[in-house]
Amino acid sequence: MTDRTLRRVVDILLVEDDEGDVLITREAFQHYRIRNALHVVSDGDRALQFVRRKGEYETAPRPDLVLLDLNLPRRNGLEVLAELKSDPDLRAIPVVVLTTSQADEDILRSYSLHANAYVSKPVEAGDFMSVVRQIDDFFGSVAELPRWRAP
């Protein structure tokens, strides 16, 4: 097992409009002592502004990983995913769809748009926290993520 203290810090963008789910994710980071940086935006338009470093996000770091809900205001998660994966400058950012939907069409559409993983949010808070930890363990310790060069 990789020593968590030797890992580089990963910038994670959580795109989530449900404050309860944001709170549980933050609690998981604290509970499991996840050192990675968690950035949160609440809608699809802000997600695209963040990854493109536009407007108020001009100095934002390029995320190493995006956790993307599907049910978002202004621009839904599938639209965000389609834009990310169609942009040559952004398509290498891994995207994990993290949503309540277990609908086959959402799963198929997400993978068709090149999501890196599709995870259904557990209903129980403790199970949700465990899923957050597992995602962090895989993308933070097991998977090799791109290292972004300064713009």
Which domains are assigned to the chain? Answer: 11-94+104-141 (3.40.50.2300)
Residue 9: what pLDDT? 85
Structural contact between residues 84 and 66, judged by C-beta atoms closer than 8 angstroms: yes
pLDDT digits (tens, 9 = 90+) for 76-124: 999 999 999 999 999 999 999 999 999 999 999 999 999 999 999 999 9
How far is Cα 1 from Cα 112, in angstroms, rounded to an integer? 33
Please give the Cα distance from 70 to 43 (Å, whole number): 10
CB 80 within 8 A of CB 115: no
Identify the pLDDT of residue 140: 82
37-73 pLDDT, tens digit per residue, is 999 999 999 999 999 999 999 999 999 999 999 999 9
Q: What is the pLDDT of residue 5?
A: 47
What is the rounded distance in angstroms from the CA atom of residue 137 to the CA atom of residue 2?
9
Q: Say what the pTM is.
A: 0.91
H-run or E-run covering 68: strand 65-68
Q: Is pLDDT at 146 greater than 90 in this prediction?
A: no
List phi, psi (to 5°) of 35. -85, -15
Listed residue (38, 50, 105, 51) closest to 78, CA to CA = 105
